[in-house]
A and B are shown apart, each in its own frame.
Chain A
Amino acid sequence: MNEMAVLLKPVLATLLGGAVCGIVGVWVVLLNIPFVGVAMSHSAFAGAIFGLLVGVDPLIPALLFCVGASCLIGPIAERGDFEPGVALGVIFALMLGLAFLGVGLLKGPRTEALNFIWGNILLTSRRDLILLGVLLFILVGFLVVLNKEVKAVLFNREIARAVGVPERAIFFALVMLCGLVVSVNLDTIGGLLIFSLIVSPASAAYQITYRLKTMYLLSIGFAVGSCVAGLVLSWLFNLPTGAVIICIASLIFALALLFSPKRRVQRKLG
């Protein structure tokens, strides 16, 4: 009974964390910006380290760094006529530099700082759950209200712009929401591992379905499934939870790729 009570919060965190990662993963995969997860996770990591340095709640600067980075990525890509991947690369390098600078400046043991890299889902707090719940509500609300705009941008950004959709604003919003997902999951899943949890389940879903709605559902299902299975296995075999979650997410992707009906169609199309 006691063990069950201890596991309740982590289980809820995996369900909510998996759901939010599954949703933004679809955007990352369809917009072909997988690097966004890396750049955002490093921004959140740099922000959290900054929080430790100045003695404030790490979540707040992590959120601010992510929002700041997402605000920079879009305009850098637009102004410089770069691909978003190039802008992401620039931000990623900057944030990595800032993060390690911060780690270097930290006094005493750096255990707390390193926790942001790997996370610890077993230490999920009530606040983490509330934040994840609010974030899931925001993401679903965003999708419901701006469904046709998001769909147009995911299909083709140039076409979306040409038909009069506020494509730039929607794209920036999608990147910013990715940043929020990374920041909020920093404590639980960890800055480095979250990248895989965003990309792998959505990529697996992409191999299976031709319907966007189904892709969202599959992506959420795969992400939640990876999290729950990872949690249970790590609990049973005393393994690092985050690492097990990522291994399972990667395994699901490998299976989806292996049995993908789309690959057969592609082979037929030549």
Chain B
Amino acid sequence: MLIPGFASPVAVDIQDVKVSYYEHIALRHVSLQIGRGEFVGVIGPNGAGKTTLLTVINGLGRIHSGTVKIFGERLDRRNIRFWRSRIGYVPQSLKVDPRVPVSCLEAVVIGASGRLGIFRRVGQVEVKKAEMLMDFFHILNLRNRPVGQVSGGEMQKVALARALLQEPEILLLDEPTSNLDPPSVEELTGFITSIYQRFNLTVIMVTHQIEHLPAVCQRLVLVKKGRVVFVGNRDEGLRPDRLKGLFSNE
């Protein structure tokens, strides 16, 4: 399907967005543009508003003022489900009850649910694609295992496979490497690099661990206390004095 909005060179356009939870202001008049095909890292201390920034892009977070445009189209009630089905989202370490009666394959196939739309059933095509993605992430052996009984790294691969089954234009990664051991971080970072290059995606990755950002990430957004304090190239963003200021308590 050809979607006119996809011709826009700007994948995400956030203008003057404010988000608050009761008295706590999570985002203060944030404006940000992310181009098609960019890999952007969002860095900041805990509670800076990084996750909120991601959730306003796929409409999971409620904004109080401002606008969010995806490929030039303003997000609103009428198109929110359409865009969600085309924005892959990997949340920070999903906790799943080990007893949940859902296998890893079924958890991946859920990714096709939105794109298929209501009344169309999941068919062999979706299952085959899910299996191919699981094979790509080296987790095909887990296809029948209950999804609550896999390790943190495996769970993140399941989440990545589910997000890619959406055949997304944009991929949002919320601290995908947090709580993982160093070999798992290295493996997952390799996969993220690989899918960015292979699937021609726009990727926005949130992290507070700078060393976990893949080398392909060349643009950084630094966030502190709900404000974007820096947008620019990686080398400039990772200057020691800048990082010291970002993670200080001031």
Which residues does A use to contact B, with CB under 8 Å? Answer: 30, 81, 145-149, 151-152, 154-156, 158-166, 206-207, 209-212, 214-215, 262, 265-266, 269
Contact = CB atoms under 8 A, between A and B. Distances in A.
B57 to A, nearest CB: 11
Interface residues of B, number: 39
Nearest to B166: A163
Contacts, number: 94
Given A159-B91, A163-B162, A152 B101 contact: no
Contact of A149 (B109, B118, B147): B118
A128 B131 CA distance: 47
B118 A269 contact: no
A166 B149 CA distance: 27
A210 B113 contact: no
A-B pairs with the 4 shortest C-beta distances? A164-B114, A164-B85, A164-B84, A163-B114
A66 to B, nearest CB: 25
Contact of B101 (A158, A160, A210): A210
B3 to A, nearest CB: 14
Given A164-B84, A166-B118, A210-B146, A266 B98 contact: yes
Given A210-B146, A269-B149, A166 B102 contact: no
A228 to B, nearest CB: 25
Interface in B31-87: 58, 60, 81-87
Interface string B104-128: 0011011111111011011000000
A164 B75 CA distance: 13
Contacts of B96: 156
29 contacts: A148-B109, A148-B113, A149-B113, A151-B102, A151-B106, A152-B110, A155-B106, A155-B107, A155-B147, A158-B60, A159-B91, A159-B94, A160-B113, A162-B84, A162-B87, A162-B89, A163-B85, A163-B110, A163-B111, A163-B113, A163-B114, A163-B162, A164-B86, A164-B115, A165-B114, A166-B81, A206-B99, A262-B98, A269-B149
